[in-house]
Amino acid sequence: MAKDGLTEFRLVGTRPDRPDGLDKVTGRARYGADISAPGMLWAAVVRSPHAHARIVKIDTSKAEALDGVKAVITRADFPEGLTGEAWNLQENTMAGDRALYDGHAVAAVAATSAFVAQDAARLIEVEYEVLPHVIDVDDAIKPDAPVIREGAADATVPEGMPPNVVRYMEFGHGDVEAGFGAADLVMEKTYKTEATHQGYIEPHACMGQMGEDGRGEMWVCTQGHWFIRKMCTDVLGLDPAQLRVTPSEIGGGFGGKTTIFMEPLSLALSKKAGGRPVKVVMTRSEVLRATGPTASASMDVKIGMTKDGQITAGRAEFRMQGGAFPGAPVDFALMCGFAAYKMPAVEHIGYDVLANRPRAAAYRAPGSPMGAFAVESLVDEMCRELGLDPLEVRLKNAVHEGDKASYGPKFGSIGLEEVLQATKAHPNLLAELGPNQGRGMASGYWFNHSGDTSVSLAISEDGTAQVSVGTPDIGGSRASIALMTAETLGIDYEDVRVNVVETGALGVNEPTHGSRATFASGKAAVMAAEQAIGEMCRRAAAKWGIDPEAVEWVDGAAQPAGPNAGKFPPMTIAEIAAKMSSTGGPIAGHHESVPEGVGASFGTHVVDVEVDPETGRTTILRYLVVQDAGRAIHPAYVEGQYQGGAVQGIGWALNEAYIYGEDGRLQNTVFLDYRIPVASDLPMIDTVIVEVPNPGHPYGVRGVGETGITPPLPAIANAIHDAVGVRLRSLPMSPPAVLAALKAKE
């Protein structure tokens, strides 16, 4: 019986073995760098050592003369005349007349070995004229800041804004000033978050091959190979139909592998090298300097609250830099910031600002963690000021189905109330705290997403099934799609194999992003299975000589739908499949759509910390994640998503940050200096799966991948305050930062 007590499932909600488990633990899984081919060349990339510089001259003659070098490229090898996002992608792939950040690619070389390629890269001479740079968002938005690019602002930016503002937004509803006037307490504070990296274990890697005839192949580690195909062909002026892209197994992405970085270089080098395949594998330093971290933020938040905890109004003004290109997720940060609260009046203002940093990419619930850090920290500050229980205040102001969201429309089915009640009932809230220990809580939100989806399903001769999907499996989607497909067909989980297939095999698919794979590819797989079931019912009806509408599908077999349909023994899927060749040929199903019915997901986290007053180090003692999954198809994977999101949020809160020197160069370019949490830093993360089924999905799925990274930032800040009485409004809350706050308090 499913956990909602209403629907009985054979498989959905169970925890079978992972289909990729054996391959991964035995080393058999093939990741991006594992792909090789006869005649393959190796690439190396020359990157700018300056944050901002005019490229005066590039001399490649010495590199070209080196034995073993087969191709050298600069921006001169790329087509001209691109505009809009295609130009942004090209400019980020290879600098044009200026290097815009430390690590920006300026040239690349392909050679017969990785060592020769690296030697050749060192022989490429680049003459720079160093220009003034700007790193911090509050500096970048000043009217006299160094200008990253004239004319980059889009139509939303009114005239007269500072030159690095490239997108501007305002939205809200209600009378905010009247709301503040009705409050007993109004507080306004400023919060800052630093840029962090997704920290996936597998660096970017690909092998590209492109012939003189414009036909090519790519094997690549990515969240979305149709995006790779479109972006590469846009940047290089190629025909998308002639490029076939095959995804590898993926060692983490978290949003950072939804775009291109060095992939077009492999194709351009291959073409110049006579069509020999070219492999590019980034070092960790290249990943940190030159791929897509998230944005940094500076945020002013103002909230009005009555003495009994009713929120009367809110205002948020967020400034974010997303590197030297537009796209900082300030819009989502604003939309998610107040999402957990019924807001009678709210005003949002946002600025997307350019700075001399690498172009931001998506990172798990893009923007939402920053918005939560600002709003959920201030809500906690106000609860303490008024002597209110922060959980009760969240319950009092919680949004429900039909309420107007802070960002405009009404909510559909949501489970925030259920999440908060499950949190309230958890035993972690009763654990006693000792000296220098404290407890903090916060909620988080993500919309979830659908997108272009194409799935096909083939019934084998023995009645087993293979499902072809276009969403790379990052967090367990092969297992969840197999479970839903097997449930629908009425066969065993082990009798379904889900394959992530290349771009030639399906219609266009958006990447695995927006927590969409189990929702969208899963929904499409169920639709494809139902199409195949319809065909199998027709074949049974033909054998029985009855109307197809008089046949139903029960427990993996066709059977007459009622006594009037006739008396025939059930015909199993294996029996129908065995006769497919003589009853009309192959049996398959497919589905293509942008599946509608996306269900949003709320979560609440509670963390207990201990702060060492001598060092400022914060230790996580206990950590609880409670989140609405809609329905957990494979609960172990759902728990893994909850735990993974929490751990990334803990890293963002306590340690991770892009640290730049005065020269604008990134100083922490390896994991020794860019400190992500490891298992020994953390206790087991406790999880509670709340299930408020999403009516827009056949099995109630919402999508669970992103919300979990949102609450840790404010929850930990709130816990540190509870432990030692200091409020940190800037991240990371590293030992030196906490120690400084403790000393300031003295």
Partner 1 sequence: MSGAVSVHLWSSLTRFTDGARVVAVEAGTVGQVLEALSGAYPGLEPILEAGVSVVIDDELVTDHHSAVPEGAEVYLMQRIKGG
Residues that bind partner 1 (CB under 8 A): 154-156, 158, 168-172, 198, 254-256, 258, 331-332, 335, 362-366, 401-402, 407-412, 446-451, 510, 513-516, 594, 596-598, 705-706
Closest separation between CB of residue 410 and partner 1, Å?
4
* Residues facing 278 on adjacent strands: 41, 208
Residue with tokens 């319809």: 534
Q: Of 157, 176, 169, 172, whose CA–CA distance to 318 is shortest? A: 169
Closest separation between CB of residue 245 and partner 1, Å?
20
Closest separation between CB of residue 219 and partner 1, Å?
24
Complex with partner 1: residue 254 or 637, whichever CB lies closer? 254
Q: What's 144-193 look like in SS3?
A: CCCCCCCCCCCCCCCCCCCCCEEEEEEEEECCHHHHHHCCCEEEEEEEEE
Q: 457: which DSSP letter?
A: E
Complex with partner 1: residue 439 or 591, whichever CB lies closer? 591
Positions of E strands within 427-531: 437-446, 453-459, 465-469, 496-500
Spatial separation of the C-alpha atoms in residues 558 and 538, rounded to whole Å: 9
Contact 192, 296 (CB under 8 A): yes
* Residues facing 128 on adjacent strands: 55
Complex with partner 1: residue 41 or 346, whichever CB lies closer? 346
Closest separation between CB of residue 697 and partner 1, Å?
13
Please report, as a single letter, which amino acid is at residue 101.
Y
Q: Of 26, 111, 193, 164, whose CA–CA distance to 716 is shortest? A: 193
Closest separation between CB of residue 506 and partner 1, Å?
18
Closest separation between CB of residue 738 and partner 1, Å?
28
Beta strand 105-111 pairing with 41-47: antiparallel
Q: Is the dihedral of CA 260, 447, 439, 330 positive or negative?
A: positive
Closest separation between CB of residue 675 and partner 1, Å?
21
Closest separation between CB of residue 323 and partner 1, Å?
16
Complex with partner 1: residue 411 or 568, whichever CB lies closer? 411
Bond into 162 cis (ω within 30): no
Complex with partner 1: residue 38 or 409, whichever CB lies closer? 409
Spatial separation of the C-alpha atoms in residues 470 and 540, rounded to whole Å: 31
Complex with partner 1: residue 705 or 714, whichever CB lies closer? 705
Please report, as a single letter, which amino acid is at residue 202.
E
Complex with partner 1: residue 210 or 701, whichever CB lies closer? 701
Closest separation between CB of residue 632 and partner 1, Å?
19
Contact 292, 285 (CB under 8 A): no
Closest separation between CB of residue 704 and partner 1, Å?
12
Complex with partner 1: residue 13 or 253, whichever CB lies closer? 253
Complex with partner 1: residue 364 or 729, whichever CB lies closer? 364
Spatial separation of the C-alpha atoms in residues 645 and 445, rounded to whole Å: 12
Closest separation between CB of residue 594 and partner 1, Å?
4
Q: Is 352 helix (H, G, I), strand (E, B) or coil?
A: strand
Closest separation between CB of residue 363 and partner 1, Å?
5
Residue with tokens 């400023």: 190
Complex with partner 1: residue 275 or 412, whichever CB lies closer? 412
Complex with partner 1: residue 236 or 336, whichever CB lies closer? 336
- The b-or-e profile of 70-102 (16+ CB within 10 A means b, else e) is bbbbbbebbeeebeeebbbbbbbbbbbebbbbb
**How many other CB atoms are found less than 10 A from the CB of residue 661?**
11
442 phi, psi to nearest 5 deg: -165, 155
Closest separation between CB of residue 254 and partner 1, Å?
6
Complex with partner 1: residue 407 or 623, whichever CB lies closer? 407
Q: Of 220, 201, 217, whose CA–CA distance to 209 is shortest? A: 217
Complex with partner 1: residue 515 or 627, whichever CB lies closer? 515
Complex with partner 1: residue 362 or 719, whichever CB lies closer? 362
Beta strand 278-281 pairing with 205-210: antiparallel
Please report, as a single letter, which amino acid is at residue 370.
M
In the structure encoding, which two tokens stand for residue 608, read together? 């207990």
Complex with partner 1: residue 31 or 171, whichever CB lies closer? 171
Instruction: Indicate the burial class of 396 (C-beta count within 10 angstroms; 0-12, 13-18, 19 or more).
Output: middle
Closest separation between CB of residue 169 and partner 1, Å?
5
Closest separation between CB of residue 356 and partner 1, Å?
23
- The b-or-e profile of 124-145 (16+ CB within 10 A means b, else e) is bebebeebebbbbbebbbeeeb
Closest separation between CB of residue 46 and partner 1, Å?
30
Complex with partner 1: residue 216 or 475, whichever CB lies closer? 475
Strand order in the sheet with 98-99: 98-99, 53-59, 125-130
Non-local (6+) Cβ contacts of 155 within 8 A are: none
Closest separation between CB of residue 615 and partner 1, Å?
33
> C-alpha 221: how far from its chain's center?
15
Complex with partner 1: residue 510 or 722, whichever CB lies closer? 510
* C-alpha distance from residue 439 to each of 81, 140, 627 (Å): 56, 36, 19
Contact 647, 607 (CB under 8 A): no
